């Protein structure tokens, strides 16, 4: 009978890999907490209308990529394709704005999109999401970028570029959309099928198309930065000034748009040349109208999402550096020794000593091979003769030195050696 394999685009994260994941997630929690953010955990399953209203009906995510189904109650549900909408939904449902006008939140977990699997991109993928709701000061835009750069530096990423842009607001974007649509009129034949449709539904998304023909046409299109109202222009200027204060290099990418309808004003990405066309490691921006669109008060917000798979693949940190090896292996010979080994091992585990024992009753040679294979630091040799003498032999597996220790004080002795007391 054939074994059942994972669903295409879904990937196991194996034990030899999880140490690196946990380390990077730990750095995220440490840095974000220092900047005043608190962790929130939201469901992976939401009502489909949440994403239709927030992300936008005309986006590729809603039209093509969401895992949506009808449950037994004929309610449409969706595996979350991104986290911002879920966090804002929770923010409103639990009236967080009533207790504190500013919410600084982050979450780490899986997202789901049915798109073509490729290097560093899966149908179940993981994101680190950060959201700051309730402040519109442009310095907060720079603040979360500063925090982001600090995090990327701590996980040893290099050769990265920060790109920024402004997408304007509801006051200045309509004029740009009209100018863009006028520019594209008559050029439809050179556009891909998706972009021909986007002219009617969401023309800004054409800037994000990777088709060569579309890219050549859009090269001569008007840019949104030249259509900014005074308020948006002032906001963008202050963001750049705040970044300059911390000497954070950036480049303005006038063609950068975000794939979700709720973005406005500041938008940013951190990109690398190592991932081909889909080169963004981090993407984010301001979404000042999203909370209101989802039925809440008119409060601003800004956030970003980091793709964990891409981050893990780019980080030079090695999986081997985070493998956890047992402190101690107890090689027990004989029934009485095995009974004592079972008692000692679990008492030591309770006190934080990672201990392994053999339950198969194998020879000493086999058990020593097992201890060596597990890369144990020490092996405790315990047999009937040792029990009779009230002793056990403790071998250092790195230098093969061996010493006798009393059974009466065995636990304290091992704790002192292993824990460095």
The string of pLDDT tens digits covering residues 237-255 is 999 999 999 999 999 999 8
pLDDT in tens, the chain (421 residues): 899 999 999 999 999 999 999 999 999 999 999 999 999 999 999 999 999 888 876 666 777 789 999 988 789 999 999 999 999 999 999 999 999 999 999 999 999 998 876 666 789 999 999 999 999 999 999 999 999 999 999 999 888 899 999 999 989 888 988 898 889 888 888 889 888 888 887 888 888 787 888 888 888 899 989 999 999 999 999 999 999 999 999 999 998 887 666 788 999 999 886 555 557 889 999 999 899 989 999 999 999 999 999 899 899 999 999 999 999 999 999 999 999 999 999 999 999 999 999 999 899 999 999 999 999 999 999 999 999 999 999 999 999 999 999 999 999 999 999 877 5
pTM metric for this prediction: 0.87
Distance CA 148, CA 256 (A): 19
- Residue 338: which of 377, 383, 380 has the closest Cα? 383
Distance CA 270, CA 282 (A): 5
Output the pLDDT for position 106.
98
The residues near 292 (Cβ < 8 Å, ≥ 6 apart) are 298, 299
CATH 3.40.50.800 in the chain: give the residue spans: 325-415
pLDDT tens column, 119-173:
667 899 999 999 999 999 999 999 999 999 999 999 998 888 999 999 999 898 8
Output the pLDDT for position 421.
52
The residues near 245 (Cβ < 8 Å, ≥ 6 apart) are 142
Task: Residues 325-415: name the CATH superfamily.
Answer: Anticodon-binding domain (3.40.50.800)
Output the pLDDT for position 259.
61
- Map residue 373 onto helix, strand or coil: helix
Radius of gyration of the chain (CA): 28
Which fold is adopted by the domain 15-172+228-319?
BirA Bifunctional Protein; domain 2 (3.30.930)
CATH 3.30.930.10 in the chain: give the residue spans: 15-172+228-319
CA atoms lying within 13 Å on the CB side of residue 407:
17
- Residue 306: which of 284, 286, 288 has the closest Cα? 284
């Amino acid at each position: 009978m054939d074994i059942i394999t994972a669903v295409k685009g879904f990937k196991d994260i194996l034990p030899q890999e999880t140490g690196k994941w946990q380390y990077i997630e730990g750095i995220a929690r440490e840095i974000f907490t220092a900047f005043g953010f608190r962790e929130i955990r939201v469901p992976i399953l939401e009502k489909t209308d949440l994403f239709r209203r927030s992300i936008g009906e005309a986006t590729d995510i809603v039209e093509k990529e969401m895992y949506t189904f009808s449950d037994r109650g004929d309610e449409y549900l969706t595996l979350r394709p991104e986290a911002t909408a879920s966090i804002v939904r929770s923010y409103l449902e639990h009236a967080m704005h009533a207790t504190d006008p500013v919410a600084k939140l982050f979450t780490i977990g899986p997202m789901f999109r049915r798109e073509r699997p490729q290097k560093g991109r899966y149908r179940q993928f993981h994101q680190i999401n950060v959201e700051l709701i309730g402040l519109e000061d442009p310095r907060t835009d720079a603040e979360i970028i500063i925090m982001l750069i600090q995090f990327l530096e701590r996980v040893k990423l290099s050769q990265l570029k920060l790109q920024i842009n402004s997408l304007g607001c509801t006051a200045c974007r309509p004029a740009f959309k009209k100018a863009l649509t006028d520019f594209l009129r008559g050029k439809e034949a050179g556009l891909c099928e998706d972009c021909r449709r986007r002219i009617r539904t969401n023309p800004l998304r054409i800037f994000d198309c990777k088709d060569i023909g579309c890219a050549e046409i859009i090269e001569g299109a008007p840019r949104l930065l030249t259509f900014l109202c005074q308020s948006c222009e002032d906001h963008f200027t202050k963001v750049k000034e705040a970044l300059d204060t911390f000497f954070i290099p950036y480049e303005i990418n006038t063609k950068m748009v975000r794939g979700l309808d709720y973005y406005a004003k500041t938008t940013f990405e951190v990109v690398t040349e190592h991932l081909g066309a889909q080169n963004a490691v981090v993407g984010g921006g301001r979404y000042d109208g999203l909370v209101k669109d989802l039925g809440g008060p008119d409060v601003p917000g800004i956030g970003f999402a980091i793709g964990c798979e891409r981050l893990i693949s780019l980080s030079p940190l090695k999986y081997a550096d985070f493998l956890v090896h047992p402190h101690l292996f107890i090689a027990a010979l004989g029934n009485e020794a095995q009974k004592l080994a079972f008692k000692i091992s679990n008492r030591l585990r309770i006190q934080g000593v990672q201990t392994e024992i053999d339950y198969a009753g194998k020879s000493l040679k086999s058990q020593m091979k097992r201890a060596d294979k597990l890369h144990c630091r020490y092996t405790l040799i315990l047999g009937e003769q040792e029990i009779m003498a009230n002793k056990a032999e403790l071998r250092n597996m790195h230098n093969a030195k061996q010493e006798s220790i009393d059974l009466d004080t065995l636990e304290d002795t091992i704790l002192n050696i292993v824990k460095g007391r």
